[in-house]
């Protein structure tokens, strides 16, 4: 099994080493780290990247704490583009699995649409590569070992499951000591997520965005609500898919002018 590890927090994040160790413990034969050269949070599945003379800018860089034998690269690109490039042999043979994270902060609810962490895994899935996105709930995590333990548990499950090329597993872990996490629960997506944005109009027609923690107590049985109550959560997400039986307005002849 060949694994690519990426994230949206950048090459200096400790979360990369957490996923690299989990991949090796799960039996990966080769692990390569390729992460954005700078923070790309909120990049979603963007394919933006910086080029020099028509070439994507990639630098050999040592990410902190990596196990021996794991190569790492800083890429001036969004994480979804990194997964895209990996799928086409940009960092060696096409990986069998893309691990994205460990993100600093939760990725819950329908707001996962905007997540670079989840976006990288979804980008991989569109190329037939399994994807696992992992997040810790705090913006300044302290309990990386807890994320590593739950990642290892989910990875063992994924290795034993049949291939689902258009699915992504999204794992969120409370930033708590391992013994204080209540367990792991399958969870539906919250209506939005852990953070809610609001738009305010200011003078001269300008708009201002403000962000605040979203009140999730009304959704106790969603991923955001369960996290708040101390559970790790796991959700299966679909990559973009065609709904073959959807009733849509077809025509069997040209429209009249």
Domain of 182, CATH number, reads 3.40.1210.10
Q: Of 76, 90, 4, 87, nearest to 36 (Cα)?
A: 76
User: What residues contact residue 172 under an 8 Å CB cut-off, 6+ apart?
Assistant: 106, 107, 108, 134, 135, 136, 137, 223, 227, 232, 233, 234
Assess if residue 182 is contained within a domain. yes
The whole-number pLDDT of residue 65 equals 96
Assess if residue 198 is contained within a domain. no
Assess if residue 255 is contained within a domain. no
Assess if residue 202 is contained within a domain. no
Report helix, strand or coil for 151: helix
User: What residues contact residue 177 under an 8 Å CB cut-off, 6+ apart?
Assistant: 143, 146
> Which alpha helices (H) appear in 107-143, and where do they start and end?
116-125
Q: How many domains does the chain have?
A: 1
Assess if residue 134 is contained within a domain. yes
pTM, to two decimals: 0.89
Sheet holding 97-104, edge to edge: 58-60, 71-75, 30-36, 2-6, 97-104, 130-136, 167-173, 232-238, 184-186
User: What residues contact residue 139 under an 8 Å CB cut-off, 6+ apart?
Assistant: 104, 105
Per-residue pLDDT of the chain (257 residues; tens, 9 = 90+): 999 999 999 999 999 999 999 999 999 999 999 999 988 787 777 777 766 666 788 999 999 999 999 999 999 999 999 999 999 999 999 999 999 999 999 999 998 998 999 999 999 999 999 999 999 999 999 999 999 999 999 999 998 888 777 899 999 999 999 999 999 999 999 987 555 556 666 767 777 666 555 554 568 899 999 999 999 999 999 988 888 899 999 999 999 87
Assess if residue 74 is contained within a domain. yes
The whole-number pLDDT of residue 163 equals 77
The whole-number pLDDT of residue 47 equals 77
- Domain ranges, residue 119: 2-189+217-238
Assess if residue 166 is contained within a domain. yes
Assess if residue 67 is contained within a domain. yes
Strand intervals (E) in the chain: 2-6, 30-36, 51-52, 55-56, 58-60, 71-75, 97-104, 130-136, 167-173, 184-186, 195-201, 207-213, 232-238
Are 12 and 63 within 8 A, CB to CB?
A: yes
CA distance 68 to 179: 29
CA torsion, ordered 13, 19, 20, 21, to nearest 10 deg: 110
CA distance 196 to 174: 19
Cβ atoms within 10 A of the Cβ of 139, count?
11
């Amino acid at each position: 099994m060949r694994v690519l590890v990426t994230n949206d927090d950048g090459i200096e994040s400790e979360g990369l080493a957490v996923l690299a160790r989990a991949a090796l413990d799960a039996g990966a034969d080769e692990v390569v780290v390729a992460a954005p050269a700078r923070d790309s949070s909120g990049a979603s599945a963007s394919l933006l990247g910086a080029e020099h003379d028509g070439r994507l800018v990639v630098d050999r860089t040592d990410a902190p704490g990596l196990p021996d034998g794991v190569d790492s690269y800083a890429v001036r690109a969004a994480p979804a583009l990194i997964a895209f490039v990996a799928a086409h042999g940009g960092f060696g043979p096409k990986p069998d699995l893309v691990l994205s994270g460990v993100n600093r902060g939760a990725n819950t609810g329908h707001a996962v649409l905007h997540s670079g962490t989840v976006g990288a895994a979804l980008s991989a899935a569109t190329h037939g590569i399994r994807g696992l996105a992992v997040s810790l709930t705090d913006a300044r995590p302290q309990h990386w070992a807890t994320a590593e333990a739950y990642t290892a548990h989910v990875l063992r499950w994924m290795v034993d499951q049949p291939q689902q090329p258009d699915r992504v597993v999204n794992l969120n872990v409370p930033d708590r000591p391992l013994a204080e996490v209540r367990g792991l629960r399958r969870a539906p997506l919250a209506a939005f997520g852990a953070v809610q944005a609001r738009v305010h109009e200011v003078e001269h027609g300008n708009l201002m965005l403000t962000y605040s923690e979203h009140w999730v107590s009304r959704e106790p049985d969603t991923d955001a609500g369960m996290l708040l109550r101390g559970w790790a959560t796991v959700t299966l997400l679909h990559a973009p898919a065609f709904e073959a039986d959807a009733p849509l307005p077809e025509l069997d002849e040209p429209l009249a002018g």
